[in-house]
Structure 1
Amino acid sequence: MKSITEIFKGLELTDSEYAFIKERCQKVALKKGEVLLKKGQPTLSQYYVLEGCLRSFFEDAQERDHTLQFAIHDWWISDYTAFFDGNPAVLTIESIQKTIVLEFTRKAQIEIFESIPKVESFFREKMEHSFGAFQKRIINDLSKTAKEKYLDFLQTHKEIETHIKNYHIASFLGITTESLSRIRREIAKD
């Protein structure tokens, strides 16, 4: 039950409401490098990260990875466009560390929302926050230098930066690994 209460911290739920939610989710353990969702698959679930780290990415026509998101403890991840509109995934989600997530299917989520309306409000607020964070990231990508983006990345992802491969970080920042190395050298000199 602790993992469920962790998700809904700040929301007052009864023991029976927690039990109802717990019955509608599944714990999934992933090894490092294991794929949780593959491009082209139906996207039926979203995931809450209990421990570990995941990344979502897409491949362009030249088969280059572009990392969209890292998800660590207490973060949510899915291919949300596909999750909400029912289309196949355009993103792939893989674990970059040993990871444990709670899986919530769309069907289970709707059952929870219908039975416990305050959970729907809770999720709406989470989605609003996530939308704002993605918008902020897009603005930063359009307006900041590579060095500024990297410094922002360190601020947001300081606990995982040393566990992520350089090319994943570079992919997230939209730069080459060589540029990332140059930026790190510049920062080390400062």
Structure 2
Amino acid sequence: MYERILESIGRRIELTEDEQQYFTSLLQVRTVRKRQFLLQEGDVCRYEYFVNKGCLRAYVVDAKGVERVLQFAIEDWWIGDMQSFIDQKPARLAIDALEDSEVYCIDKAGWTALLERVPKFERFFRMLLERAFITLQERVTSALSATAEERYGQFQERYPQFEQRLPQHQIASYLGITPESLSRIRKQRMK
């Protein structure tokens, strides 16, 4: 049942059988239907989520009511509102399913207990956060200095698996452009 998450963790740290059992005892399994929320803006993020199957997105809604996608998460990825989760304050992000999905959830108390009882998980989560920070830094740099065409090319190169799974308007939102602009860029690339 927990093969994917244990395999994912095993690529970064080595766990004993007892540590694996303790970790999985802290997890809850949740199925999420397409368009169903895991987290709504203003609620406190009680869990960090590991995607076992499906596709989710984290986004904000701007002052004009436009959704701005910050992150997609597919199988083997983690997603949550880290600021809300750590501080236990209202979330700024909303997280919903773009496909029927199954996630493993770990709550704040379980996460804290895990880090205390199995210190190598501190290394595991540090490695995830380092990778997330680097990705965020690259994304901000790209948003500030790259053209829409360059950002789309970077997206295709970095996340080839998303092109077939995501609607065009979701990709456009992630890139910070309109769906019409993305359509034009795609047509130009086909020439």
176-185 or 4-13: which moved more? 4-13
Q: Aligned pairs, how many?
A: 189
Aligned-residue offset at 1:3: 3.3
Separation in structure 2 between the aligned mates of residue 34 and residue 94 of structure 1, nearest angstrom: 5
CA deviation profile, 1:50-83 (whole Å, cap 9, x unmatched):
1111010000111110000001111111011211
Over aligned residue pairs, what C-alpha RMSD do you find? 1.1
Report if aligned partners of 1:4, 1:18 keep a CA contact under 8 Å in 2.
Answer: no
* Structure 2: gaps of 5 or more residues: none
- 1:78 equivalent to 2:80? Answer yes
Counterpart Cα distance in 2 of 1:4 and 1:156: 22
Give the drift of 1:160. Answer: 2.2
Q: Secondary structure at the match of 1:27?
A: strand
Structure 1 residue aligned with 2:124, among 122, 125, 144?
A: 122
Shift of the 105–147 alpha-carbon distance from structure 1 to 2, 3 Å rule, reads same
Select 1:142's aligned residue among 144, 151, 162: 144
Matched with 1:3 is 4
Q: Once the 2 structures are TM-superposed, how far is the Cα of residue 41 of structure 1 from its aligned partner?
A: 0.7
Identify the match of residue 164 of structure 2 among 156, 162, 165.
Answer: 162
Distance in 2, Cα, partners of 1:61 & 1:155: 31
Contact 2:46 2:107 in 1 (8 A): yes
Contact 1:56–1:68 (8 Å) recurs in 2: yes
Secondary structure class of the residue paired with 2:75: coil
SS in 1 for 2:160: coil
Query: Are the aligned partners of 1:56 and 1:91 in contact in 2 as well (CA < 8 Å)?
Result: yes
Shift of 1:87: 1.1
Q: Distance in 2 between matches of 1:27 and 1:70?
A: 20
Q: 2:32 aligns with which of 30, 33, 36?
A: 30
Aligned to 2:173: 171
Q: Which runs of 5+ in 1 are unaligned?
A: none
Secondary structure of the residue aligned to 1:97 is coil
Give the letter for the 2:38 counterpart. L
* Deviation by residue 1:110-151 (Cα, 9 ceiling, x = unmatched): 110100001111111111111111111110111111011111
CA contact (8 A) 2:4 2:76 kept: no
Structure 1: distance between partners of 2:80 and 2:43: 12
**Kindly, what percent of the aligned residue pairs are identical?**
37
Residue in 2 that maps onto 1:59: 61
Separation in structure 2 between the aligned mates of residue 116 and residue 15 of structure 1, nearest angstrom: 12
Does the 8 Å CA contact 2:51/2:103 hold for their aligned counterparts? Answer: yes
Cα distance, 1:103 vs structure 2 = 0.5
TM-score for the superposition, normalised by structure 1: 0.95
